[in-house]
Amino acid sequence: MDLSTGINPFPWPIGSIAPDAWTRLPEPSALEATARIAYGANPEAEVVAAPGTQALLQWLPRVIPARRVGILGFTYGEHEKCWRAAGAEVTTVASPEELAAFDVGVVVNPNNPDGRIVPPDILVATADRLARRGGWLIVDEAFIDPLGMRHSVVPRLPLRGAIVLRSFGKIYGLAGVRLGFAVVPPAVARSLRAALGPWAVSGPAIDIGRRALADRDWLADTIARLHKAADRLDMLLMPAGFSIVGGTPLFRLASHRAASIWFEHLGQSGILTRPFATHPEWLRFGLPGAAAEWERLEVVLRSRNDQRPV
């Protein structure tokens, strides 16, 4: 049972995929138009579909060369890894305002793993300060969907010097589809499309993504379901001695003085969670899905707690 990710355990129902999605070369324009509406992007901004946000993370350092990169930490490690691989000097900062001193600033919003939210007004101001120096602010909104559009900076684009990344697979529970989007100014869109090359997103991914993004009723119902599930998970973790220190409706960040022992015990029981080497007191828990998964987690948490070894 994999609770190490923040993927929605209640996936969008795929149904039948159009036959020509398999037989024709893929054209993402209809998908990108649907994503524009779903994310509330302005007409002047471009929406670029990619085979997952991870692909965008790896391409952006090549599309936007930077010598000095600031990342608002503690956060998802792939951002630092990708910029370092491209030869940039990467610094972790404690406040978004500090990012204005770099060539590129990166903010994961809401943050992974603690769910920290930086208000859009602060992000807009930071992007503007960076743009005056020819810099860029990258906002990774992979986990923002369950929180609603009010926290997103996408409706503020195009901003000079602002790039927003959106994940499809997390909220729709379809990580294997490999689909993500960049909301960017037109010049960056041209560079990204050239870097990704033709037919970067598969026909089935385009078909699934277009239909899912248009299904607003499913999204609203799922967001409500995720909030209830997150509350339920908190109520399971706290009696076992965990403190909830953050998270989003897609995952919870819990603290325990014996988190490493819990990680081992859960793993030996076939339940994978996410530990953090730099914060050994933390474990991140994704949401169980089926009733049997909830029951299994509850049994394991109770059995360990009853032994009182921690």
Q: In the structure encoding, which two tokens stand for residue 301, read together?
A: 């948490």
Per-residue model confidence as pLDDT tens digits over 72-99: 999 999 999 999 999 999 999 999 999 9
Cβ–Cβ under 8 Å, residues 189 and 158: no
pLDDT 10s per residue in the chain (310 long)?
Answer: 999 999 999 999 999 999 999 999 999 999 999 999 999 999 999 999 999 999 999 999 999 989 999 999 999 999 999 999 999 999 999 999 999 999 999 999 999 999 999 999 999 999 999 999 999 999 999 999 999 999 999 999 888 899 999 999 999 999 999 999 999 999 999 999 999 999 999 999 999 999 999 999 999 999 999 999 999 999 999 999 999 999 999 999 999 999 999 999 999 999 999 999 999 999 999 999 999 999 999 999 998 665 554 4
Of 165, 223, 187, 185, the residue nearest 49 (C-alpha): 165
Type of residue numbered 73: G
Residues 6+ apart with CB under 8 A from 61: 82, 83, 85, 86, 88
Instruction: Give the bridge partners for 256, in sequence order.
Output: none
CA distance 21 to 19: 5
Maximal CA-CA distance, the chain = 60
The reported pTM is 0.96
How many CB atoms are closer than 10 A to CB 165? 23
Q: In the structure encoding, which two tokens stand for residue 154, read together?
A: 């996408």
Percent helix / strand / coil, the chain, rounded to 5 = 45, 20, 35
Using DSSP, state whether 246 is helix, strand or coil. Answer: strand
CA distance 301 to 265: 9
20-214 carries CATH number 3.40.640.10: yes
Using DSSP, state whether 15 is helix, strand or coil. Answer: coil
Instruction: Give the bridge partners for 91, in sequence order.
Output: 70
Number of residues assigned to the chain: 310
Cβ–Cβ under 8 Å, residues 189 and 56: no
CA distance 17 to 118: 38
Per-residue model confidence as pLDDT tens digits over 174-198: 999 999 999 999 999 999 999 999 9
Give the residue extent of every domain in the chain. Answer: 20-214, 217-307
Q: Using the 8-state DSSP alphabet, how is residue 241 labeled? A: T
Type of residue numbered 60: L
Cβ–Cβ under 8 Å, residues 61 and 85: yes
CA distance 45 to 43: 6
Residues 6+ apart with CB under 8 A from 291: none
Instruction: Give the bridge partners for 254, in sequence order.
Output: 244, 283
How many CB atoms are closer than 10 A to CB 102? 24
Cβ–Cβ under 8 Å, residues 123 and 153: yes
217-307 carries CATH number 3.90.600.10: no
